[in-house]
Amino acid sequence: MEIQQLLGEYECAIDQKGRMRMPSGLVNQLGEDAQKLSFIVNRGFEKCLMLYPKPVWDKITTEINQLNTYNKKNREFIRYFYRGAQEVTMDAADRILISKRLLEYADINKDVILSAYNDRIEIWAQEGYDDLMAEEPTDFSDLAEEVLGKINGNKA
């Protein structure tokens, strides 16, 4: 199954059991087989959680599994990357269940923001996301030039 470009920011809530209802706009982007799709949720690079559709996770982990485990830095990365990862599926009400440990890692209590981009979804505590967005670069143009200006074909 090929995952198309995912887009959008969505406000959601985590219930007392750790369940989060996937927004219908996001479910629609996942396609007609969204109910059958499984996801992997794990720790993000910042203080958030990452939600990967299983085919995306498989692609990423294929690369990670090729790392030389005799190299200490590789082992550290592999441990951290996989730490807490769990497979989840949507129930009939489009909810996923997130473990307490993962919610604690991301300081998520109730209100969350889902930030969908490319083929993955970040899950942020609303306060953490708002803080991150408040640190927006003063000149986004300079950041774009620095990040994208070196890509072949761009004339930045």
Which domain CATH number covers 61?
Answer: 3.40.1550.20
Q: Are 29 and 126 in contact (CB under 8 A)?
A: no
Q: What percentage of the chain exceeds 90 in pLDDT?
A: 70
Look up the domain containing 16 and give its range.
8-126
Domain total for the chain? 1
Pick the more confident residue, 148 or 34.
Answer: 148
pLDDT in tens, 67-97: 999 999 999 999 999 999 999 999 999 999 9
Backbone angles phi, psi at 43, to 5 degrees: -70, 140
In a domain, 137, yes or no: no
In a domain, 136, yes or no: no
Q: Are 54 and 40 in contact (CB under 8 A)?
A: yes
Pick the more confident residue, 38 or 139.
Answer: 38
DSSP letter for each residue of 65-100: TTS-TTSHHHHHHHHHHHTT-EEEE--TTSEEE--H
